[in-house]
């Protein structure tokens, strides 16, 4: 039969090797790098309080402005767009409602406020979930419709 001393020695070697192998595995958490994410407009003027201003043309429902977002992520991200109106009687159309970033991390949507919204303030939001880190990013701008 088996010698109990041999079995005990073999067991000690196995347990010892297990501790060595486990000790060699670093159980450190990977550092999560957060990205910059912002929404902006190249065409609309920004005031001292960081509100953008859009001049609406009276008797014209063809008002439009391009709104951009940019992330510092190296990955292409799917960005969702939505708008919050101060006066809920009106609906702001956004097109597209979702878009993908280009290789520079930029994407855009176009807003179409109606001319009878003069005096209202709207917020245009962009958000995405980074598929690598599962972090939710949200950014927005406020636009005064003049």
Question: Is residue 76 in some structural domain?
Answer: yes
Q: Where is pLDDT greater, at 83 or 13?
A: 83
Q: What does pTM read for this prediction? A: 0.73
Model pLDDT for residues 114-128, shown as the tens digit of each residue: 878 888 899 999 999
pLDDT of residue 17: 55
Residue 39's nearest CA partner among 15, 68, 66 is 68
Does 125 map to a domain?
A: yes
Local structure of 13: helix, strand or coil: helix
Counted domains in the chain: 1
Residue span of the structural domain in which 51 resides? 37-145
Report the CATH number that the domain containing residue 123 is assigned in CATH.
Answer: 2.60.40.10
For the segment 67-124, what is each residue's pLDDT rounded down to a tens digit?
999 999 989 999 999 998 766 666 777 889 999 999 999 999 999 888 788 888 999 9
In a domain, 58, yes or no: yes
């Amino acid at each position: 039969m088996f010698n109990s001393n041999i079995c005990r020695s073999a067991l000690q070697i196995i347990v010892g090797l297990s501790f060595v192998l486990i000790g060699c595995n670093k159980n450190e958490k990977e550092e999560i790098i957060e990205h910059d994410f912002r929404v902006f407009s190249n065409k609309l003027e920004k005031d001292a309080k960081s509100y953008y201003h859009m001049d609406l043309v009276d008797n014209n429902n063809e008002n439009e402005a391009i709104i951009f977002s940019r992330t510092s992520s190296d990955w292409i991200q799917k960005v969702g767009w939505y708008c919050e109106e101060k006066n809920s009687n009106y609906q702001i159309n956004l097109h597209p409602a979702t878009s993908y970033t280009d290789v520079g991390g930029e994407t855009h949507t176009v807003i179409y406020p109606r001319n009878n919204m003069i005096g209202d303030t709207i917020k245009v939001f962009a958000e995405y979930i980074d598929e690598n880190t599962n972090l939710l990013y949200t950014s927005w701008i406020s636009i005064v419709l003049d």
